[in-house]
Structure 1
């Protein structure tokens, strides 16, 4: 693997970026008008671990809160792990999940998707809906998170969708499958588990991917080690990646490809817009523009 330092990756990938503000009519706000579930405009606890009550610290155990149309997964009172619109459960409520779906610009028709980390199942649920020809496997280490799947209307296991309880790092190392897309969004009540951000893990991800396979990783920008994590991905994927900050949050999405050089042009973006509108993915052109801007900035920095 290449010996690029964390500081070098920091300069190459994170310098000169400032988040643009999206307008009121930005397509990321226009997902679908279908009302899929009724809801009450009240604040209430949807689910708490046994023996807990509002104001308690539930000691890292997952719980569900509802406020108006929002249902969210928490490990503590300070941080939202996943969010869902009760009226429209398919809507990607958190900005970083929309950014992660940007993998469709690099592979619009994946047949085998793997996900490390379930959370509230936003990405799993959306991919199941928007990509009916894709086989989807989700690996989640915590059985108590999986137990909450019905609260977030996550599809039942089927011949093309399944949730496995296990360590994602062990699964990536041992599974013989060769996914087209490998999405890594695994966090616990402390942050990103060490086994999901090590050089060994990213090396295994690279080896496991099929030809032209793409790894998509959610990094938390407020993690003091996130630039080191980016450097490890850069090494494992021989520099073939782009990092796209999410609008209005500290999340950074890494798109790293095995195979041909990763790229996205304005012309390619324009050709894809009709396809995404047909898939109820009208938020994606805005994500694509952000990805293109990152490629353009990198090109200018390398001149």
Structure 2
């Protein structure tokens, strides 16, 4: 690549393109030397690519690594309308609407919130997988009486959280840098709900694909606890994962497809006497829709149908 490429100035760092967040503005100003921007058209993208690199980084080298799929860290693509977290250009791991930064864009993430149909007032939610912080932000703002712990294995993902307006950590919201397998095996932390949304470049994180992981997670759920899992897989891989969950949770599962994607959202229940009262759940869904702005009545219909047709 020619050395004559004209690069965007880092004076246009994240603080200048985030009028909706004074916190982000402050964070970007205080950390100018740790952000590097690349014009999107150099990597066949619209907008700007943000990388957590020194402003003096060799951008020509970064472009080559991005195009070759050899850039090892997560990065952000910002087209002025949406801001997306990527591990490579094939898939977006997380997406944020710049005009509505606290909105859940992903259909699977909205469906994961259907746990509220079964656990309306959780005291503690553990979220595995920070991504762009969509689930963490939504739960933190929509459930003001709930404590939120987010477990993220990748320090580089956590380092990008300022770009997605994650709330400052406080007594209700905490981000833990840890492998979820180690966390559930060693931490004395109990939750009413676990939201499991951990993926690598190709699908669900390999660490989740074993019985001991789910046994440890199960042990950390309180009685009547709920697991909501974003499951990506096809054929034998999907069947094997569902069989693993069915073994640990004694077949107390509900599965909802996500239209237009390969995702499925699986709900697993610790309640030994789990037998949903769909009349009460449909009534609760109407109130939840009013409170949180998501289509809970539709979620309830999908899950009721899944109970009737699915076998594990």
TM-score per shorter chain, which class?
0.7 to 0.9
Following TM superposition, by how much is the alpha carbon of 1:161 offset from its aligned partner in structure 2, in angstroms? 0.3
Larger Rg: 2
Q: How do 1:183-222 and structure 2 match up within 5 A? A: 183-222=195-234
Q: State the secondary structure of the residue aligned to 2:222.
A: coil
Look up the match of 1:43. 46
Distance 1:166 1:230, change over 3 A: same
Contact kept? 1:264, 1:291, Cα under 8 Å: no
Following TM superposition, by how much is the alpha carbon of 1:192 offset from its aligned partner in structure 2, in angstroms? 2.5
Contact kept? 1:241, 1:262, Cα under 8 Å: no
Alignment equivalent of 1:172, drawn from 184, 187, 200: 184
The structure where helix makes up a greater share of residues is 2
CA distance in 1, matches of 2:110, 2:154: 24
Look up the match of 2:242. 230
Contact kept? 1:96, 1:218, Cα under 8 Å: yes
Following TM superposition, by how much is the alpha carbon of 1:187 offset from its aligned partner in structure 2, in angstroms? 1.1
Contact kept? 2:52, 2:160, Cα under 8 Å: no
Q: Deviations over 1:115-138 (max 9, x none)?
A: 111111111110001101001100
Following TM superposition, by how much is the alpha carbon of 1:166 offset from its aligned partner in structure 2, in angstroms? 0.8
Alignment equivalent of 2:285, drawn from 269, 273, 277: 273
Distance 1:212 1:81, change over 3 A: same
| 1:66 maps onto 2:78 in alignment | yes
CA distance in 1, matches of 2:68, 2:275: 48
Question: How many residues align structurally?
Answer: 262
Gaps of 5+ in 2: 1-18, 22-44, 54-58
CA distance in 1, matches of 2:183, 2:86: 25
CA distance in 2, matches of 1:215, 1:152: 25
> TM-score if structure 2 supplies the norm length?
0.78
CA distance in 2, matches of 1:72, 1:221: 22
Following TM superposition, by how much is the alpha carbon of 1:197 offset from its aligned partner in structure 2, in angstroms? 2.2
> TM-score if structure 1 supplies the norm length?
0.80
Distance 1:289 1:156, change over 3 A: same
Which range is displaced more, 218-227 or 81-90? 218-227
Q: Deviations over 1:243-277 (max 9, x none)?
A: 11112211111111112344445422331134223
Q: Deviations over 1:94-119 (max 9, x none)?
A: 11001111101110111110011111
Gaps of 5+ in 1: 1-35
Q: Deviations over 1:68-112 (max 9, x none)?
A: 421111000101101111110111111100111110111011111
Look up the match of 1:11. none
Look up the match of 1:148. 160
Q: Deviations over 1:172-198 (max 9, x none)?
A: 111112100011111122432322221
Contact kept? 2:154, 2:177, Cα under 8 Å: yes
RMSD: 2.2
